[in-house]
Chain A
Amino acid sequence: MMKQMVLQRIAIGFATLIVVSIIVFIMTSWLPGDVAQIILGQAATPETLAALRAQLGTDQPLIIQYFSWLGNMATGDLGISKAGGATISSLIGGRIGNTMVMAGLVALISIPISIALGLYAAMHPGTWLDRMVTFGTLSLISVPEFFIATVMVLILAVNLHWLPSTAYLTGNEDFFGLLKALAMPLITLVIVVSAQMIRMTRAGILNVMSSPYIEMAILKGVPRKRIILRHAFFNAIGPIVNVIALNLAYLVSGVVIVETIFAYPGLAKLMIDAVQTRDLPLVQACAMIFCGVYVVLIILADVASILSNPRLRQPK
């Protein structure tokens, strides 16, 4: 039963990835029009047009173009950037590590903070601390990421002079210098992601708290702390793991903004620059990486919530 459901989710995930690749391909390769015409301009003769189309492969039927694109992508041949002519895999290879370091650090810092605060707020609903947490996190999730980043720059860089306002890496920083450069984007992303996670953790536990067995525990006089830590928390683990995976997926959009504002040399910055110069092959590759990670995280979230549901352990 459980195995079946997990396999089914993974299959759906694969299907989604295929559909995602079709969407990305159609939007970036087919809809913008005839690339050969754009490259050669109005003065092109039919012969040169045909020659360039044959060279680019755009004279092939759409479906063949799609499969050859997909095949190239799967084998790591991402094509050549229109700006500069470097291979896309080398461009991405130089950036992807930076983004992964940042995302990993954000997850490492924000998950414990969020679970602790969410748990604490759920244990003391209605107190001033809970109200502050709910109001604070609601405000934080309502504002754009760049608002938080801007305020952080104003406070930490401009007024207090503690941190630099950009996260430009020269490549030969020592550990402390690296930490200092990363601090600003990290703080911003941790705030953005934690706010969401705290709210969902709190809601998840309060949701479990309204189930009949908790009511039973209350009525038989179990202390509140014990109810939350022994009864509610373990049943809320599934939803909480789900929340964590979902929020790491939300990191994708946060990373785009934060890398831009702090000039952090990551994958998202590369993609924004590619969008600005309309370097479509590079946009394609970056979009596929981001969307792929996103879809995988969403599947992980689903699988986690299936695995943590004891009702699915026994076949009915």
Chain B
Amino acid sequence: MTDQNVTKEEEVIAKLDAFAELPDAPPKRRIKLTWVGKASVAVVVFWLVIVAIGPSIAPFHEMDMEGDDGFLDAYSGEYGSFYLGTDYLGRDTLSRILFGARNTIGISLLATLLAYLMGITLGILAAVKGGWIDMGISRVNDAILALPTIMLGLIVIAAFGSSIPILIMTAAIIYATSVFRISRALGQDIMVQDFVEAAQARGEGVWWIIKSEVLPNAAMPLATDFGLRLVFVVLFISSLSFLGLGVQPPASDWGAMVRENLQGLTYGSWAAIWPALAIASFTIAINLIVDDISAKAGGSLAKKMV
């Protein structure tokens, strides 16, 4: 009798143990990066650190005209201290790149974050609420999406002039439209899942469902998209600066630096190449990380065979 009880208890415990091994949530996908991905992460982290400490480690101030002449070669000058040479006004290129990181990456990062804040809020709201709210926001969104981004940027700057807050707001609103589209689609997919229905059936409120069901499930795809969006914003801002319509001189911005020093190319100066390389390294690295994450392991028979 007691023996049987003991075995039964053991069985129950064993069953419970088996149950405990079942995860409550889908197992976290571990992201394995290739060496290219790891190197790219290092590059991105490097530039983010520069955004934080760049100005304090720069050998000169971004606006100091240290060289006696424009387009000095690297290692020239009194102390041989222009590691990357000087620009067209004799300012140290390295210092301007270190300062410029704050403008180029900082503005883009802020704009992307703002775009995400707006895009996700409206997108999830449209997905959860549906009806005329969804219709209204979606139509306006489609209209803005139907325009080339650079055109929108040019129109805004023609109307209001260029300043850093206007740049951030313009980029944020333009790119919020694509974030809206993605988060709305994701939200709609999640809202028809069984677990959401279950939550609705047990009477959870809208905010609880958004917070506990929708956002966690949308987080991973949105995080990947954030990288891509950041690249687009960096390209947008630096293109505007390159056109002379973004960050205004004498502040340093990588796009503006390329423009300023373009004529130096003819004299063999690399002052325009270094900032261009800085942008390229940052954006390529982010794209490689995103590519690495989204490359699916395995795949269909056809992909393996062909």
Using CB atoms and an 8 Å cutoff, list the residues of chain A in contact with chain B: 16, 19-20, 23-24, 27-28, 31-32, 123, 125, 138-139, 141-147, 150-151, 153-154, 157-158, 165, 206, 209-211, 214-215, 218, 224, 227-228, 249-250, 252-253, 256-257, 260-261, 271-272, 274-276, 278-280, 283, 287, 290-291, 294-295, 298
Chain A residues in 8 Å Cβ range of B146: 16, 19-20, 291, 294-295, 298
How many A-B pairs with Cβ below 8 Å?
Answer: 161
A206 touches B244 (CB 8 A): no
B306 touches A278 (CB 8 A): no
Q: Mark B267-291, 1 if CB is under 8 A from A, else 0.
A: 0100011001001100110111001
Asked if B1 lies at the interface with its beta carbon under 8 angstroms from chain A, I say no
A143 touches B268 (CB 8 A): no
A210 touches B156 (CB 8 A): no
Chain B residues in 8 Å Cβ range of A206: 303
- Within B142-188, the residues touching A (CB, 8 Å) are 142-144, 146-151, 154-161
Chain A residues in 8 Å Cβ range of B268: 158
Contact among B244, B258, B303, B306 for A150, CB-based, below 8 A? B258
Asked, given contacts A142-B283, A146-B255, A275-B158, whether A210 binds B300 with beta carbons under 8 Å apart, the answer is: yes
Using CB atoms and an 8 Å cutoff, list the residues of chain B in contact with chain A: 142-144, 146-151, 154-161, 231, 235, 238-239, 242-245, 255, 258-259, 262, 265-266, 268, 272-273, 276, 279-280, 283-284, 286-288, 291, 299-303, 305-306
10 contacts between A and B (CB under 8 A): A32-B159, A142-B287, A146-B258, A150-B265, A154-B273, A157-B266, A253-B148, A272-B245, A275-B157, A278-B158
Asked, given contacts A31-B159, A283-B158, whether A144 binds B255 with beta carbons under 8 Å apart, the answer is: yes
Contact among A139, A280, A291 for B159, CB-based, below 8 A? A280
Bound form: Cα–Cα A87–B5 in Å:
99
A252 and chain B: residue at smallest CB distance: B148
Report the minimal beta-carbon distance from A149 to chain B, rounded to whole angstroms: 9
Asked, given contacts A16-B146, A158-B268, A274-B158, whether A142 binds B306 with beta carbons under 8 Å apart, the answer is: no
Chain A residues in 8 Å Cβ range of B242: 144, 146, 257, 260-261
Q: Closest 8 interchain pairs by CB?
A: A19-B143, A253-B150, A142-B283, A283-B158, A143-B280, A142-B287, A210-B300, A275-B158
A144 touches B279 (CB 8 A): yes
B interface secondary structure, majority: helix
A interface secondary structure, majority: helix
Bound form: Cα–Cα A123–B306 in Å:
7
Chain B residues in 8 Å Cβ range of A260: 242-243
Chain B residues in 8 Å Cβ range of A261: 242, 262
Chain A residues in 8 Å Cβ range of B259: 146
Asked, given contacts A144-B279, A224-B306, whether A27 binds B238 with beta carbons under 8 Å apart, the answer is: no
Bound form: Cα–Cα A157–B264 in Å:
12
Bound form: Cα–Cα A294–B272 in Å:
31
Chain B residues in 8 Å Cβ range of A228: 306
A28 touches B147 (CB 8 A): no
B306 touches A283 (CB 8 A): no
Bound form: Cα–Cα A148–B238 in Å:
14
Contact among B158, B283, B302 for A218, CB-based, below 8 A? B302
A283 touches B154 (CB 8 A): yes
Asked, given contacts A153-B265, A158-B266, A218-B306, whether A20 binds B258 with beta carbons under 8 Å apart, the answer is: no
Report the minimal beta-carbon distance from B7 to chain A, rounded to whole angstroms: 50
B265 touches A154 (CB 8 A): yes
B258 touches A252 (CB 8 A): no
Chain B residues in 8 Å Cβ range of A150: 258, 262, 265, 272-273, 276
Max chain A Cβ within 10 angstroms of own Cβ: one of B150, B245, B291, B299 = B150
Chain B residues in 8 Å Cβ range of A154: 265, 273
A283 touches B155 (CB 8 A): yes
Contact among A215, A227, A252, A276 for B150, CB-based, below 8 A? A252
B147 touches A291 (CB 8 A): yes
B280 and chain A: residue at smallest CB distance: A143
B265 touches A28 (CB 8 A): no
A158 touches B280 (CB 8 A): no
Report the minimal beta-carbon distance from B103 to chain A, rounded to whole angstroms: 15
Contact among B143, B154, B155, B279 for A143, CB-based, below 8 A? B279
A144 touches B159 (CB 8 A): no
Contact among A146, A283, A290 for B148, CB-based, below 8 A? A290
B288 and chain A: residue at smallest CB distance: A138
A272 touches B154 (CB 8 A): yes
Asked, given contacts A154-B265, A218-B302, A291-B147, whether A276 binds B155 with beta carbons under 8 Å apart, the answer is: no
B148 touches A291 (CB 8 A): yes
A142 touches B284 (CB 8 A): yes
Bound form: Cα–Cα A271–B152 in Å:
12
Asked, given contacts A19-B143, A224-B306, A249-B148, whether A275 binds B154 with beta carbons under 8 Å apart, the answer is: yes
Chain B residues in 8 Å Cβ range of A271: 154
A143 touches B283 (CB 8 A): yes
Asked, given contacts A138-B287, A283-B155, whether A16 binds B272 with beta carbons under 8 Å apart, the answer is: no
A209 touches B303 (CB 8 A): yes
Bound form: Cα–Cα A280–B305 in Å:
58
Report the minimal beta-carbon distance from B184 to chain A, rounded to whole angstroms: 18
Report the minimal beta-carbon distance from A41 to chain B, rounded to whole angstroms: 18
Bound form: Cα–Cα A142–B231 in Å:
7
Report the minimal beta-carbon distance from B107 to chain A, rounded to whole angstroms: 15
A31 and chain B: residue at smallest CB distance: B159
Report the minimal beta-carbon distance from A259 to chain B, rounded to whole angstroms: 10
Chain A residues in 8 Å Cβ range of B283: 142-144
B258 touches A280 (CB 8 A): no
Report the minimal beta-carbon distance from B217 to chain A, rounded to whole angstroms: 25
Given A143-B283, A209-B302, A272-B243, 10 other A-B residues pairs in contact with their CB atoms under 8 A: A16-B142, A142-B284, A144-B239, A158-B265, A218-B301, A249-B148, A253-B148, A253-B149, A256-B154, A295-B146
